[in-house]
A = this chain, B = another copy of it.
Amino acid sequence: MAFINENYLKLPGSYLFAEIARRVTSFKDENPTADIIRLGIGDVTQPLPAACIQAMHTAVDELAKQETFRGYGPEQGYDFLIEKIIETNYTKRGITIGKDEIFVSDGSKSDCGNIQEIFGTNNIVAITDPVYPVYLDTNIMAGRTGILTENGTFEKVTYMPCTAENNFTPELPKNRVDMIYLCCPNNPTGTTLSREALTEWVNYARKNESIILFDAAYAAYITEEDVPRSIYEIEGAKEVAIEFRSFSKTAGFTGTRCGYTVIPKTVTGRSQDGSKHDFNKLWNRRHTTKFNGTAYIIQRGAEAVYSVEGQAQIKETINYYMANAKIIREGLQAAGIQAFGGVNAPYIWLKTPNNMPSWDFFDKLLHEVNIVGTPGAGFGPSGEGYFRLTSFGNKENTKRAIERIKTKLKF
A interface vs B, CB < 8 Å? 1-6, 8-9, 11, 15, 41, 43-48, 50, 53, 56-57, 60-61, 63-66, 69-73, 106-107, 109-110, 113-114, 117-123, 134, 137-138, 141, 176, 178-179, 208-211, 252, 254-257, 269-272, 277, 279, 282, 285-286, 288-298
**Nearest B residue (CB) for A258:** B295
* Given A3-B270, A60-B56, also A257-B293 (CB < 8 A): yes
* Cβ-neighbour of A120 out of B4, B15, B44 (below 8 A): B4
Please indicate the chain B residues that have their CB under 8 angstroms from the CB of A1 in the complex.
176, 178, 208-210, 269-270
Minimum C-beta distance from A237 to chain B (A): 15
Expressed in whole angstroms, the Cα–Cα distance for A79 and B157 within the complex equals: 38
Minimum C-beta distance from A257 to chain B (A): 5
Contact, CB under 8 Å: A71 / B44: yes
* Cβ-neighbour of A271 out of B4, B141, B290 (below 8 A): B4
Contact, CB under 8 Å: A295 / B298: yes
* Given A61-B53, A298-B297, also A292-B107 (CB < 8 A): yes
Please indicate the chain B residues that have their CB under 8 angstroms from the CB of A57 in the complex.
57, 60
Protomer copies: 2
Please indicate the chain B residues that have their CB under 8 angstroms from the CB of A138 in the complex.
289-290
Expressed in whole angstroms, the Cα–Cα distance for A294 and B255 within the complex equals: 8
Please indicate the chain B residues that have their CB under 8 angstroms from the CB of A43 in the complex.
71-72
Expressed in whole angstroms, the Cα–Cα distance for A292 and B296 within the complex equals: 18
Please indicate the chain B residues that have their CB under 8 angstroms from the CB of A277 in the complex.
4, 9
Contact, CB under 8 Å: A110 / B291: yes
Contact, CB under 8 Å: A63 / B45: no
- Choose among A5, A123, A293, A297 the residue with the greatest number of B CB atoms under 10 Å from its CB: A5
